[in-house]
Structure 1
Amino acid sequence: MSEWLTGAIARGQGISDWLAPKRAQALELLSQTAWPTRRTEAWRYTPLRSVERSIAKDQVQTTGLSPVDIADLHMTELVFVNGRFDVQQSSSELPTGLSIVLGSELNNADQALAIEQFSSIKPSRHLFGLVNDALASDVVVVAIAAGADIEKPIRISSLLSSGAEAHTRVQVKLGDGAKATVIEDVQAQGDTLSTAFVEYDIADNARLEHYRFALQTNTNVAIGGSHFNLNNKSKMHSTIVAFGSDLSRLDTDIIHAGEFADAKLNAMYLLDGKELFDLHATVEHAMPNGTTEENVRGIVADRARAVFNGRIHIHRDAQKTLAELNNRNLLMSDKAEINTKPELEIYADDVKCAHGATIAEIDKQALYYLQTRGVSRSKAQVMLNFGFINELIDLMPNAALAEWVRPIIRERFAQMEVK
């Protein structure tokens, strides 16, 4: 066991609060868990040296941090600063049908329900999910009433100042027939370590539009997860936009726990320098008539490294399932690296499933052609790269968010050079 994990367990053992039963379970599992090495399949291409070098700090400057504007959208804000829920920056006036409460402030009955839901969707196999179970200072519980249509997006912002370590946790429950948009956003100044996990329980006929912007770069270590439980005829559409950093890891789990559930996941990652981004996505089809469409695209430049593991598991009772997984990657350097592993595990016999992965280099002839027509090399790169990614941006349900993220991605492309 690593010194860092030993220290995390010791810190978790020193916390006594309403989450004590769940912390105890997590600490017990952590004490039995081996620290990942290159022989650990889930971490085979993602070394944890940057985590091991991290040193927890008791006091870090927290003033002056506030969420950046996104697309001039009016949003319901849920703000964490260095792992602590910030009541002052979070929205106090909520639309009808929406409740946002700290778990420690719930009454006994609601607290018991929150404890029951805690880690019921996030699988226990996620090492840093268990770390988050043990070290999160509290849980923010977001509840959307049955039939409610929450028009304003709900943004979960995690703000980190230099040198901070943070562990944030949110539970989101959509009642029957409810509709909502949730945006997860991490903003870090540098040299930080964070775990951020959100669990979504999507009831019958409910609709969730989800975004996760993991745009932290440089020396940040960001490990997190978004985990979804779909019930009868519920729908979700998730979009992930990620840059790389010293270590950036995201685990996504989608569980089809009801019939006729529909899931769409689109992810794009853009890496430069010596950055690392690791996306592990697992879809569990446990019930019949479910559909999943998963599209993941990455562009990797310089000496950056990307890891993608996409697994779709069709259980024996999940007849009439339709599932498709596609991963496409573009390498801009001879030293850039992508490790991709799409998987289908099928135990039902009446299904339609497909999966595939491609890795290619940027077309240098096309790059040369554009340059001969008076287009600068940097602009030509942006044009070619943007065409590769833009299809997924066009699929974002929120047009304002799509227009907001486009110039950010263009600027990122301009920094990435073909070598």
Structure 2
Amino acid sequence: MSNATQSRPWLEALLQVLAQRAGHSATQWPSARDWCWPTRRSETWRFTDLRCLTQLDPVRLHTRTASPRWPDASILLPSDPVSGKQLPARHVFLQLDGRGHWLSPQGELPTWPRGLVPLPTEEIIPGQVAQTVIPSGTLPLGAQLNGVTPSPALGLQVSGPDPIHLELAIQVEQAQAWLAPHLLLVLQPGAHLCLSWHVVATAQAAVMPMVEARLGLAAQLEEATTAWGYPGATFLGSSFMDQSPRSIYRRTTVTWGWGLSRDEPFVRQSQGQAETCLHGLAVARGQSLLDTHSTVTFDGPGGHLRQRHQALADDRGHSVFNGRVVVPQVAQQTDASQLSRNLLLSTSARIDTKPQLEIVADNVQCNHGATISCLQDDELFYLQSRGIGRDQASRLLQRGFCEEILQQLPKTALAWPSLQRLLEIPVPDQP
């Protein structure tokens, strides 16, 4: 019996529950028969086991959340280097409550700074950017489930050259939570937004955020995500970025602890001449399955890509990376670099990595590479000869391996206690 056949009764029950919550009848709602449920026969799903997701009980699902433990405000807000006083903030801090609303840490409606304007509800249509970024493809599973889950979406228009900082936090502490936040961003030409996600799940639950963004001419979006999950929790993240010429998109993700995590960023440089930087770190311990599938498409000349994905696998952890870069004939003079670096710490752990270049253009500079290694005895011996115990020496080397990605995170992300406990070594302040 295939995975799809086994999962169909669960999907039918889930869709019935979601239809009832949305106030729709069964005939108005998608049926499980209409879904192309992923199976291991598919090349992009052959390493991904969805049992962690389907073990949730559709009847018991809820949207209750907990109040995140925000770091000290002196770390989150900028201060004058001379007086030490906090500067007028172009920062917005929001947390998701149990009703699907984004509120301030004080439980109030947000105050939007100049240059950040909420979009009318009727303009926030899930999938509108995704259809542009992958016009002939099927939406990933996380985006499909996000689209059928009733949940108020957040849409924002960003304008002005001065950077605006948007911090979003989600914390789940009760089992059977089902959260599907949707964020739509429209960056006007020259706009600059720094977006940070902090997601924590300490119980059996599913969190499925979807981000869609249009970057105007010379706009800049910096996105950072730290996602820490319970061994029985599921994280299905998807993002769709449509870049105009001279725009810059930088994305850094750090993921660990989840029973199942599948992160799927899709980026399209609509006319080329844009810059994309993707950095990812996956720390798979216990029996975690951490899966990253990215697609970057160049639809014009002169585009740039720098992608670096690093994974650390220990115990029975499993890390999967599939990075797809598409360079058609129209994308001449593309400059794309892709690297997958992996550290394997246990004979029971597993790493599957597949950097993938699909090049038709003949005037490009593209390269990719992948490495899998273990801790070196000479490095451990060197630290032990300096009086450092073997266990601490191992952790220091692991931390050094992760540091290149951790350094890409903003200071606000580094301040969260969950990230500081990632390798059980304090995270130093950035200069």
Relative to the length of structure 1, the TM-score reads 0.86
Q: Take 2:111 and 2:406, find their aligned partners in 1: how far apart are those partners?
A: 31
How far apart are the structure 1 equivalents of 2:65 and 2:43? 40
- RMSD over equivalenced CA pairs, Å: 2.7
Is residue 412 from structure 1 mapped to residue 414 from structure 2 by the alignment? no
Asked whether 1:79 is paired with 2:132, we answer no
The match for 2:87 is none
Tell me by how many angstroms 1:302 deviates. Answer: 0.9
3-state SS of 2:221 partner:
strand
C-alpha contact 1:273 1:301 (8 A) present in aligned 2: yes
- Unaligned regions of 5+ residues in structure 2, if any? 78-90, 426-431
- Count of aligned pairs: 397
Q: Which moves more between the two structures, 187-196 or 294-303?
A: 187-196
What residue is the counterpart of 1:5 in the other structure?
A: 11
Q: Identify which range, 56-65 or 220-229, moves more after superposition.
A: 56-65
Name the counterpart of 1:194: 207
Instruction: Tell whether 2:308 aligns with 1:295.
Output: yes
Q: Could you list the per-position Cα deviations for residues 132-190 of structure 1 after superposition, in whole angstroms to 9, with x for gaps in the alignment?
A: 11114222111112x34234x20122232311111111101111110110012212221
The match for 1:316 among 297, 314, 329 is: 329
| Local SS of the residue matching 1:50 | helix
Q: Deviations over 1:100-151 (max 9, x none)?
A: 35x5xx3xxxx24746836435643312211111114222111112x34234
Aligned match of 2:113: 95
CA contact (8 A) 1:313 1:346 kept: yes
Write out aligned runs for 1:64-75 (5 A).
Answer: 64-69=66-71, 72-74=75-77, 75=91
Partner of 1:52: 54
In structure 1, how many angstroms separate the alpha carbons of the residues matched to 2:329 and 2:18? 39
Tell me how far apart the structure 1 counterparts of residues 331 and 282 of structure 2 sit (CA, whole Å): 31
Tell me the distance in 2 between the aligned counterparts of 1:159 and 1:57.
Answer: 21
SS of equivalent residue, structure 1 residue 120: helix
Tell me the percent identity. Answer: 26
Report the alpha carbon displacement of residue 394 of structure 1 after superposing the two structures with TM.
3.0
Specify the alignment match of 2:30 in structure 1.
27
Q: State how far apart, in whole Å, the 2-side matches of 1:116 and 1:265 are.
A: 22
- What are the within-5 Å matches in structure 2 for residues 110-129 of structure 1? 111-112=122-123, 114=125, 117=128, 119-121=130-132, 123=134, 124-129=138-143
5+ residue gaps, structure 1, are none
Residue number in structure 1 paired with 2:276: 263
Secondary structure of the residue that 1:193 maps to in structure 2? Answer: strand
CA gap 1:388/1:83 in 2 versus in 1, 3 angstroms: farther
Report the CA distance between 1:402 and its aligned residue.
Answer: 6.7
Label 1:229 to 1:299 Cα distance change in 2 as closer, same or farther (>3 A): same
Code of the residue aligned with 1:156 in structure 2: it is L
In structure 1, C-alpha distance between the alignment counterparts of 2:63 and 2:292, rounded to whole Å: 31
Counterpart residue identity of residue 4, structure 1: W
Give the drift of 1:408: 5.7
Match of 2:376 in 1: 363
How far does the alpha carbon of each residue in 1:11-70 deviate from its partner, in whole angstroms, 9 at most, with x for none? 3444658xx9xx97x937x64333322212221111111112111355758475235327
Contact 2:226 2:413 in 1 (8 A): no
Give runs of aligned pairs for residues 166-185 of structure 1, distance below 5 A. 166-185=179-198
CA shift for structure 1 position 82 = 4.5
Question: Could you tell me how far apart the structure 2 residues matched to 1:353 and 1:90 are?
Answer: 48
Q: CA deviation at 1:339?
A: 0.7
Q: 1:36 to 1:64 in 2, by over 3 A?
A: closer
1:355 to partner: Cα distance: 0.6
> Residues 252-297 of structure 1: CA distance to partner in whole angstroms, max 9, x if unpaired?
1111113310001111111211111111111011111100000111
Indicate the residue corresponding to 1:211 in structure 2. 224
